[in-house]
Copies of this chain bind each other. A is one copy, B any other.
């Protein structure tokens, strides 16, 4: 039996005469008050969450806005009602940093956008290591081709998970859902991603106020620096009951 919700994230194809499934990928245009703002390649589904999570992560909104796909679903356009908090045309990094676009400038940009995350919960290392196992990934099970992000409470109960061909989209969808549910800033909740930990993912987690971000994969140098700078607990290589903790050790239970 194939999970019907997960199947909607996939496409049937014929490969060398046999039926197979691959992860669905389509472009999505995000419009605000009718004006095109961004195009992202994503797995269709939860597009309103994606748009709102993206705008929240960019510091363009700080509360739920009305959002919805246009009537022609195949057009892949999601409309969001404004107003935005700032002009989205302002280019980032190189207008706010006086030193070119060094990593320090990138960290400062995030610091302007969001405060240091709240002290938040104390959690057992074993719980952090177990989060990937609790992250449901039914579309991955069908295709091997999607990333996932999950939001958990401090007991490690999964609140919701989203899957997408783009790892940043999966995170945006979770943040957008949390925004709609009044859960932002996340304070004492935990984020877990199925892959590697880039600067971009730590940025989105920090802006959402997440005290803890765990990934199955490796972090980058700038991801570790940003997590330290914004006070996140960052865990990587969470597999087989173990996790490497790079920053925010004060949240680990003794």
Chain A residues proximal to chain B, CB less than 8 Å? 10-11, 13, 15-16, 20, 22-29, 36, 39, 41, 70, 72, 74-77, 91-94, 99-103, 105-106, 143-145, 165, 196, 198-200, 217-224, 237, 244-246, 249
Which of chain B's residues have a CB closer than 8 A to the CB of A27?
A: 93, 101-103, 105-106
Which of chain B's residues have a CB closer than 8 A to the CB of A222?
A: 25-26, 41
Whether B101 pairs with A29 at a CB distance below 8 angstroms is yes
Bound together, the chains give a CA A250 to CA B217 distance in angstroms of: 37
Whether B199 pairs with A16 at a CB distance below 8 angstroms is no
Bound together, the chains give a CA A243 to CA B115 distance in angstroms of: 47
Which of chain B's residues have a CB closer than 8 A to the CB of A74?
A: 99-100, 102
Whether B41 pairs with A224 at a CB distance below 8 angstroms is no
Bound together, the chains give a CA A24 to CA B173 distance in angstroms of: 27
Copies of this chain, whole number: 2
Shortest distance between the CB of A125 and any CB in chain B (Å): 10
Whether A217 pairs with B100 at a CB distance below 8 angstroms is no
Whether B103 pairs with A77 at a CB distance below 8 angstroms is no
Which of chain B's residues have a CB closer than 8 A to the CB of A218?
A: 22-23, 143-145
Bound together, the chains give a CA A222 to CA B224 distance in angstroms of: 33
10 other A-B residue contacts (CB within 8 Å) besides A74-B100, A145-B219:
A11-B221, A13-B224, A22-B224, A25-B103, A25-B198, A36-B94, A39-B94, A41-B198, A74-B99, A144-B237
Select which of B15, B70, B101, B219 is within 8 A of A39 by beta carbon. Answer: B101
Bound together, the chains give a CA A11 to CA B92 distance in angstroms of: 25
